[in-house]
Amino acid sequence: MARHRFAQTSIALSIIVLFLMMIASTAVTNQKAISEPTEFPTSARQGSLDVDCTGYKFEDLFDYNFASFDILLGDDWATAQMSAVAYVNGSNSATVRENLDELFDGTPGGNNSWMSTDEREAVRAIGPECIADMDTRIGIREGLPHRGGVDWNDLEFVKDGIALDEVNLVPENHPEERDCQDLLASSDCKEVPVSITDDLQILMFTKEGETHNVRFDQLPNSGVSNFTLALNVTNMSSAALVLTFPQLQGLRLVNSSIQDDNAESNAMPLPETEYLPDGRLRVSQEVSYASSEYPILRNLFLDFTTQAPETNEIPEWTTDAPVDGTVIPYTVGTRTLVAGEVTELWATDDSGWALDCQFANQEWVGQWTAGLDEEGTLFLDGPDDVAADATANAECSVIDPFGASSIETRNWTFAQPFTSQATISESGDSVEFTVTPTGVVSELSLSAHAHQLTMMGEMRMATLASDASTLALPLDGLAPGEVMVMGQAQSNGMLDYNFMLDFGLNKPSAPPVIDVDVNLDGSNATWDASYLKFTIAGKVLDPDGEDVEMSLSLCGYSTNDFVRSGINWEIDVNIVSCSSQNPPVTVYDITLVATDESGTMTTMQVQVPDPYASSDEPIIDDGGTTVEEGLPAASMLATLTVALLGAAMTNRGREE
């Protein structure tokens, strides 16, 4: 692969600048930059964030290993969302880091052969402004197909909509990482040598809360008339370009061509097209330009029309499609109903197909829509205040991108098969899941379990007709925290209903259990020869299987210097902190605290008598235990036994 480098060593720009150019590379190369080298603006030097990147593109500065560009044109035919990822690998990544470090020559920590997190943040700050100045080298024009005369800057970037990120520019916890040496560096600044060869990525996408990061000259007829999209792809060494157009009946790619120095060429493969399940047209193009081909000017032209093709097959239902009268279950507030890998088997057409569903219920007309999204998932959109037992009948057809419709239609019923509620049981060991059938089907076979991201409780099953039923879903094996209910309902004449229900439930945290060993003489401590310290030991565990931290306090002094091995612990306790007590200490009151990952604490008091104190009877104390949160403590032996059993069940549940 071509070596990644800057066109000029004196260039002062940002990685984002690079990125923008990369984005620009998504489309094309400005002829000015191809025909002659240019001076890059230096206003980014000396720490200034005032950058001017007018007239520049990515390939003027940077060669990447591979880049992908995805442009989603808006329904208004005037805005778009562009996302891009550039991959820089091996020795090329070292070159990038070195060049970026040089950009900050004259600023604290700049051009010192180290790439810092401060420099990375500075690059992110100036990136969107630089990108907004750049040429995209994409032109779009309505009318008959053309091969020239295009305004290469029809598409332009919108600064407020641009978001930038990077991966691994300054790798975390790198073996050669160090604190930044510059005196003006931020307190948490880290830096790595620019010579490291860890792979990195540069990314651009639409900023959260914004609708677009690109705009262009709106086509007068919003794509209905013929139009040509032109891209200058000179110097794009290796890239993948994806264009997704708004839903428009009949829109299709009718021709494409590549021109090298204004002459027809077969230097790149032809573009591929597909119609998404929601009816939109997607065009994918592989782009390449070998360094040996420079300075050839390479342009890509894509011609579109909405005129119907001379022949077009009518879409047809398959035997996998739901038959008339099928109930399609849904949950209020949940948009997706059936996955794309299921719906893709429902119909067939050479050009792709979509669903057109019309509701018969007047109260649903205009408020509800049903169809397939980009991934082919069947969706239902509507208000959240619909009654639990509300049903809607819809007549659905299969349509293709050119308006052809299936002869046969299917009548389906959208309905909620049951309503439900759930609470944590009083004992805290299960979810009480109550299901009430709505009567849309005569009988339901239901299975459900308590669910977390990576763990699931034991499955419970029930068959329901008309009466409500409550299933106790065990929480064994689940960690303290958020718990949902996951399951499936089945019935004749109804599509399988896979549900994930969030009732805002949380599994409570069981408190850790502390046990202190007792010596043969009945004491808890073993004194050393100097009688200035003693050792106590025991066991600690958490019934939920969480890690437990321990601390000990005595006479105002605290420590967590425990020796731990599995559930066993041991600690040496120095009594020096008690020497200034008045009156003198005759019994050392020790406080042990165990805290699990959920923050639930168990506190235990242990008394160790001073061996020099006079007493008629030896003081023997097995300790008292209190729990700050969770279940009340039982007797120590019983509690420990219960906890051990709980831990064993937890481990078994995770293994299963």
Name the pLDDT band for 50 (thresholds 50, 70, 90). Answer: low
Is pLDDT at 644 greater than 50 in this prediction? no
Q: Using CA atoms, how far apart are residues 480 and 595, in angstroms rounded to an integer? A: 14
Is pLDDT at 621 greater than 60 in this prediction? no
Q: Using CA atoms, how far apart are residues 267 and 517, in angstroms rounded to an integer? A: 80
Q: Of the segments 35-49, 126-140, 305-319, which one has the largest average pLDDT value?
A: 305-319
Average pLDDT over residues 325-335: 88
Name the pLDDT band for 59 (thresholds 50, 70, 90). Answer: low
Q: Is residue 569 within 8 Å of 538, Cβ to Cβ?
A: yes
Q: Using CA atoms, how far apart are residues 410 and 398, in angstroms rounded to an integer? A: 9
Q: Using CA atoms, how far apart are residues 338 and 331, in angstroms rounded to an integer? A: 12
Half-sphere exposure of 187 (CA within 13 A, CB side): 0
pLDDT in tens, 13-41: 333 333 333 333 333 333 333 333 333 33
pLDDT value of residue 62: 60
Which residue did the predictor score with more confidence, 378 or 336?
A: 378
pLDDT value of residue 58: 65
Name the pLDDT band for 629 (thresholds 50, 70, 90). Answer: very low
What is the three-state SS of 126-162? Answer: HHHHHHHHCCCCEEEEECCCCCCCCCCECEEECHHHE
Name the pLDDT band for 618 (thresholds 50, 70, 90). Answer: very low
- Which residue reads 């260039």 in tokens? 11
Is pLDDT at 1 greater than 80 in this prediction? no
- In this prediction the pTM is 0.70
pLDDT value of residue 547: 92
Is pLDDT at 144 greater than 70 in this prediction? yes
pLDDT value of residue 628: 53
37: CB partners within 8 A, 6+ apart: 7, 8
- Range of lowest pLDDT (36-50, 263-277, 434-448): 36-50
Is pLDDT at 491 greater than 70 in this prediction? yes
Name the pLDDT band for 265 (thresholds 50, 70, 90). Answer: very high
Q: Is residue 300 within 8 Å of 287, Cβ to Cβ?
A: yes
Pairing of strands 513-516, 533-541: antiparallel
Domains and CATH numbers, the chain: 15-305 (no CATH), 316-415 (2.60.40), 418-507 (2.60.40), 513-649 (2.60.40.10)
Q: Is residue 42 within 8 Å of 10, Cβ to Cβ?
A: yes
What DSSP letter does each residue of 463-501 carry, written as one string?
Answer: EESSS-EEEEEE-TTPPSEEEEEEEEEEETTEEEEEEEE
Is pLDDT at 193 greater than 90 in this prediction? yes
Q: Is residue 106 within 8 Å of 43, Cβ to Cβ?
A: no
Q: What is the DSSP letter of 364?
A: T
Average pLDDT over residues 549-564: 94
Distance of CA 364 to CAs 354, 359, 370, 438, Å?
Answer: 21, 7, 11, 19
Among left, alpha and beta (phi > 0; psi -120 to 50; other), residue 352 is: left
Which residue did the predictor score with more confidence, 388 or 460?
A: 460
pLDDT value of residue 645: 41
Output the furthest CA–CA distance in the chain (Å, rounded).
112
Pairing of strands 568-574, 533-541: antiparallel
Name the pLDDT band for 280 (thresholds 50, 70, 90). Answer: very high
Average pLDDT over residues 243-262: 94
